[in-house]
Structures are given as structure tokens and as C-alpha cells.
Structure 1
Amino acid sequence: RMSPPRKKAKEDELMGPRPDSSAGSICSSLSELNVSPSRKKAKKLEILKPNSGFSWPGFISYAENEGDITPSGLFSKEVEVRGLPWKLLLKKKIGATHLEVYLLHRSYEPAPWSIDVSAQFKLKNTCEELDRVQKITKSLHNGQAKCGFEEFIPLNDLINRDKGFIDDGMFCIEVQFTISNIVGISPATDFTDPNDPRHDVALVFNGKKLYANKQILAIHSPVFNAIFGNLTNRDKKEFQLKDVDRENFHVVLNILQDPAYTIDGDLKLFE
């Protein structure tokens, strides 16, 4: 049976990011349930780029698992949104009649934290108009680090080829989401992102840049304190650093941002 081609997605069907929020997308293609194990070629899947300065757009590659979905679940590759780690989780409990889908935030913060999440889960159909879509808005916290649906779709509907969710022995579920109102968690800083509002200076190493905060550098370094305190440099947004290894300095910035950051080997900045 020839499946009808998917129609082009309409922009107004996608969830746009809320003001002052961060957005991301995880797309994980997994096999039809209970099919014979075999390796599939990894696909390059795009993380949707939102119109937000707090976003970390990019790509993930995911090698599909051909085994059955277990009660403990299968996880997509981890992606970061606003420096926070997220995964797509698929589960099927023993004797269950439905597939479970969740957006999961991995956090090791012992102190109380919370994040507001709005997510749209989509099970793709060979006919785009028949995509199965469900939305949820929830506040995640220490005791509840995931949001989603315990009964997303009946398993019989999922594996029924006449329903159109199986394409070439595979099905694809994606989640598009936005996060906001982050409390109690310090997002990791991307020192290569020029759009992070926390950065106010560019440091140039042989033509390659890292971005940082003048005040933080000045607090920890009398050299930077003197440089930034100079009247002629106060409005300067870019500085050349000579005889300094960019990768080693990147490690230093991570240590300043997170004292628990660990490194392997010796760190050498200057002779």
C-alpha cells in the first residue's frame, strides 16, 4: 500500500516561544513495537530554532533502537535548552494498552527548584493532517521532573499500519517545548554564544572568540580589573588576548561559573 505523501507543515501549527522564554525540540525516531532487531542508519534531526536569545539551536543524531520499548523506557539523546538538559522518554508498562510519552528534565539540584514548561507532543502520520498532537503546560520541580501523557496513544492504533503512523517500519514522535520562570537552578553558560544577555565582552584568541561578563572577570582577576577599569577601555566590547590558549581559557570560564566543574590533566594558561 502506498502511503500518501506528507503535506508541508504550516507555520501557524507550530508552537511559538513565549516572551522571555527558551524553546527547543527533540525528535526521536523509534521502531515499530515487537519487530525483528536490526540496525538502522542514524538520522540527523534538527532542533527547531526559536526566535529567542535564550535558545541553543543545533542538531542531534539518534541511532534508532529496534527492540521493544521496555517498562523502564527508552530515552532520546539529551539536548540543552537555556543550558538545561532535556530528554524525550517513551515507556510501555507490562500489560499496558497505551504508549507513554514524557519530556524529562535531568536535574541533580538538591535545593528546591521549579521550571514552567509548555510542550507539544506530536506522533507523525504519513498524512500530516492525521498527526496525533497533544499539548500540556506544567510546572516541574524536585519531586516531578517530567511532564507528558500516560496514555498518549493505544498501542493497537500505533502498530496498525492502516492508521498511518508506521512508515518503513518506523514511527516518529517529537516534542516542541518552551521553558520559562526558572527558579533555583543556575543554567550552564555557553561562552561561545554572543547572544547570551549575560555576556558584555568578547575575548579574541587568534581570531576565535569567547564571550564573558566583565564584572565576573574583574572580580576574579586583578589583571582584568585593571584592564576594564581603565577609562579608555570602559566602553570597549572586544579584547585581543595574546599567548593564551583559547581552550584552556574556556575551562577557566567554566570553573568561574561552576566551582564544581572538573578537568582532566594540567591546566596551563601562561608560561
Structure 2
Amino acid sequence: NCYFFNGFVWTYSLKCLHDVSLMLQNGSRSRPICQESPTYTAKGLPWALRVVMECSDRTNYENKLAIYVKCNWESENREWNCDYSASYTLVNRDADASFSNSILNRVLNFDHSLRGFHSFVKLTHLINEEKGFVTDGSITIEVKITINKITGVEYVAK
């Protein structure tokens, strides 16, 4: 689900509990488990959400969920830049208990087309039924992106 304002809001649900259970059993021997959303185009640029379950030195060898936004990753144009802000929310059954984190005024470009949080939340916290993040075997992530400025890309408004 996406809709446009001066950016867009993404709601992405993923079924990953089987993968999470395997990762928690295997601990740091696990390879990262990655899922990507379908691509969404906003202001002439392709966007996708990447969700990774990881246990590595980047996460201090704790099993964590990472959330990233990808933008224009296949472009060969080295001149493009996108100044944006984003808010990432892990949706909870109890709206007051949802977990959020924000990135303000970041730039995506040819060299850095992926930005986000490599340690967004501990997997043990995420899959604990009492915490309220799992609904029907899925978690839901909402990402609100505000596009502040784009350069180096020709965009024709429709």
C-alpha cells in the first residue's frame, strides 16, 4: 500500500516467523535473511523496502531486524541525489505500543542508494507474542518518506 503526499507512506507486511525461529536456533552461524518489498515509483525514482534479519558483528552478534530504504539502485547516472526524511514504524496491535525511529534529512545517491537501521529491533522482542507485534504470523512495517529535493533526474509530473 502506498499513497503520495510530498513523498509516500508504505505499509508492508511480511511473513517471516519461520525464518526468525530458524535464525534464533542457529544464532550467529546464520546468514542474514533478506526480504524486499515490491518496487514503488515516486517522483521518477524507483523505491523499495529491504528488511533483513541479521546476527553479525554489525549487530553485536545479537539477532536483530534491520530496515532499509533503497532508491534508484540500478541507475548508471552518477549525478542523481535525493534528499529525504523517513520515519520507520513497527506496527503493534496496540497503536500506543508501536515502535518508531526516524531519519531526518539524509541523501541517497549513486554511491549510497540504501539507508536505514541495521539494528532496528531485537528479534526476541519482535516475536514475543505478548509484545503485540505479530498478527496472524506476520509483522507490519510502515515507512513514511518525505522527498525534500531531487537533483540529476529528469521527472515529468503526470
Query: TM-score, normalising length from structure 1?
Result: 0.47
Q: For residues 71 and 114 of structure 2, what CA distance do their matches in structure 1 show?
A: 6
Retained in 2: the 8 A contact 1:136–1:147? no
Aligned length: 138
Aligned to 2:26: none
User: Are residues 1:23 and 2:7 paired?
Assistant: yes
Question: Cα RMSD over matched residues?
Answer: 2.2
Structure 1 gaps, min length 5: 1-16, 36-69, 194-271
User: Are residues 1:146 and 2:114 paired?
Assistant: yes
Q: For residues 106 and 83 of structure 1, what CA distance do their matches in structure 2 show?
A: 9
Aligned AA (2:115): C
Aligned to 1:82: 43
Aligned to 1:104: 70
Distance 1:176 1:135, change over 3 A: same
Aligned to 1:91: 52
Q: What does residue range 97-246 of structure 1 map to in structure 2 within 5 Å?
A: 97-107=63-73, 108-137=75-104, 138-187=106-155, 189=156, 193=158
Q: What does residue range 25-44 of structure 1 map to in structure 2 within 5 Å?
A: 25-34=9-18
Q: Name the structure, 1 or 2, with higher relative contact order (CA <8 Å, separation 6+).
A: 2
Aligned AA (1:97): N
Misfit runs of 4+, over 4 Å: none
> Greater strand share, 1 or 2?
2
Query: TM-score, normalising length from structure 2?
Result: 0.78
Aligned to 1:73: 34
Aligned to 2:27: none
Superposed displacement of residue 106, structure 1: 2.4
Retained in 2: the 8 A contact 1:75–1:88? yes
Specify the structure having the higher radius of gyration (Cα): 1
